[in-house]
Structures are given as C-alpha cells and as structure tokens.
Structure 1
Amino acid sequence: MILNEKIIASEVQLTGLNGEDIGIVSTKEALAMAKKLKVDLVCTSLMSSPPPARLMSAGTAKQEAQQARKREQAPKLKEIRLTPQIEDHDYETKRQQAERILKAGDAVMLVVKVQGKEGARARELLQSLVKELQSMGKPKTGIQLSGKQAAVQLDPV
C-alpha cells in the first residue's frame, strides 16, 4: 500500500470515494483531487500499468490492509484434550477455551483419551461439545474413534 506523494507512476487508474471508476488520470491530478477532498490517494498494486489507485481516508486504508493480512493467514489448528470422566466445571472451562479459539478464527481439535470400554462415553462427550459450539464452529469431520482416542475437528464459522 503506497500513499500520496510516494506513488511514482506518471498516471493511475483512479477509483473515487464511493467506488466509482474515474478512469486513467495523471498522478498530479489525482493528488490534487485527494487534497481537495481531504482524503488520501492509495495505490493498491504496482503490478499493472497504470497502477490502480483509490481515494480514501488514511484510517480506512490502514484498516483494510490489516484485514487483508489477517485473511491471508491460514487458520491454525489447536488441540484441546479431555478425559471421559470430566467434571462439570472442567467441561465448562474446556468449552469456553474452545469458544475463544473459534472466535479468534482458528480451528479446534477436540480429543478424548479412551481406556478400555469408555468409547461410548467419549462419543457422547464430543457430541454434546459439538452441539454447544455449533453457533461458533462447524465440524469438519465426524467423530472419529480410533484406538486410544476419540476426536473431532471444528472449523470456525
């Protein structure tokens, strides 16, 4: 993102404040328009000729750049481990922890360690967690029982 006088191109493809296409304008004219309207001239890319530029407030431009960077980052996968004999308070704590992770935009892997014949209890536990978290995350996979653990992955909505 390049602002105002730092744009070195001789002309730019200009877009107005409300998204209207103004067309190809010399950089000096575009800067004059920006000063007249008390906004910034923001060049979004130097890959094309003439480069695209927009008239917008500086705060808006910085916020858009930050949001674009956030969107580029792939969501991380965080694991939360549980046991089938979990107490109510611990269950609530783990649920709140999963909620926070999903709200932050990351995926959650809920894993229940299983010993012996606890597979059914582990499945029930995961089903209730998935049901409670359905407003913030949707299951990527079904509940998978394999050997010594039961797991399900939730992706943010």
Structure 2
Amino acid sequence: MNEEIRDKEIRVVGNDGSQLGIMSAKEALKLAAEQSLDLVKIAPQATPPVCRIMDYGKYRYEQAKREKEARKNQKIVDVKEVRMSLNIDIHDFNTKVNQAKKFLNGGDKVKVSVRFRGREMAHTEMGNGLLERFKEACVEEGTVEKSPKMEGRSLAMFIASKTNK
C-alpha cells in the first residue's frame, strides 16, 4: 500500500474501475495523492502487478461490515440431548419424542440416550428396541446421523434435522 509498493512498473486501475495504464509506482502514487486516495496493490502475482487507487479506510470499513452481516446470518447447530431410562412408559416416551421433534424442527441435532442402571446392563438389546421405536417416531423430522452405540452405561444415537440439510 502507498510507499510500501517497491515495483518499478505497475498497472494502475482508477477509483471508478477504469484502466489508467502501466506507469511507474511514483507516478501512480502522485496520481493517488492528487485525488487524496490510497494506492493499493490488489494483484501482486500479475505481470506487471496491478494496483488500484481507492479509499483504503472506507474499503476496510465496508469489508468489516460485510463480515459482520455474514456472521449474523449463519446458524449455529446445537446438540440437544433427550435422556430416557429402559423402563419408560408410553406417555413419557411420547413426551420425549415431542421434545425431540421440537428440537429437530428448530434445526438442532438431537442425542437420544438410554441409561442402564444395575442389572439393566444385561438387557442392552431392549435399549436398541427403544431407540428403534424412537427413530421410527421421528422419521419425518430427522435422519439418523450416528446409529446406536454403547457409551459406558448408556446407549446413544444422534439424529440430525432434515431442515438443516
């Protein structure tokens, strides 16, 4: 930028985008100073390098504004967890399914886990059946991202939202 440009000859582009031609860096800097603007190298790998006459402060401000707007528009996907025990009743099961559907419709991922306590560890296949029922109940809202897997004393499965994909 400005005096930091060391090339002998550069191609200069005006503030409005018009080609001003190939000239020495000193001439281009003088031209930029007359318009009280900055000379910024935009394509250093080109032959000769391309420089543009622009208001660098305004350019940086607009770039920061665009980045801030892009950050505002991006959606952060959370992982919500629904926990159940092996001997869950029908109504409680339906409540957990409705809660998971609400999370999935909100665009989040859901971790469904079944806790095993004591002698329930001998019946992990019942937990697989419970998670299979849960998957069938949520088939419209989401797809299974990670199939059921034992994690210590609990069996966990991840369901991703269909609205997210």
The interval holding the TM-score normalised by the smaller chain is 0.5 to 0.7
Alignment partner, residue 144 of structure 1: 145
Q: Aligned equivalents of 2:34 and 2:136: distance in 1?
A: 64
Provide the TM-score with structure 1 as the length reference.
Answer: 0.54
2:41 matches 1:40: no
Check 1:4–1:143 CA distance in 2 against 1; reply closer, same or farther (3 A cut).
same
Q: Aligned equivalents of 2:133 and 2:16: distance in 1?
A: 57
Check 1:114–1:50 CA distance in 2 against 1; reply closer, same or farther (3 A cut).
same
Q: Aligned equivalents of 1:82 and 1:65: distance in 2?
A: 38
Check 1:80–1:120 CA distance in 2 against 1; reply closer, same or farther (3 A cut).
same
Q: Give the structure with higher Rg (CA).
A: 2
**Aligned residues, how many?**
122
Name which of 30, 53, 58 aligns with 2:28.
Answer: 30
Q: Aligned equivalents of 1:123 and 1:16: distance in 2?
A: 63
Alignment partner, residue 104 of structure 1: none
Check 1:6–1:153 CA distance in 2 against 1; reply closer, same or farther (3 A cut).
farther
Residue identity opposite 1:17 in structure 2: N
Q: Say if 2:39 and 2:51, in contact at 8 Å, map to a contact too.
A: yes
Unaligned runs of 5+ in 1: 99-108, 131-141
Q: Aligned equivalents of 1:120 and 1:17: distance in 2?
A: 64
Deviation at 1:87, TM superposition (A): 8.7
Check 1:118–1:18 CA distance in 2 against 1; reply closer, same or farther (3 A cut).
same
Deviation at 1:39, TM superposition (A): 0.8
Q: Say if 1:112 and 1:122, in contact at 8 Å, map to a contact too.
A: no
Check 1:153–1:31 CA distance in 2 against 1; reply closer, same or farther (3 A cut).
farther
Calculate the aligned-residue CA RMSD, in Å: 4.1
Residue identity opposite 2:27 in structure 1: E
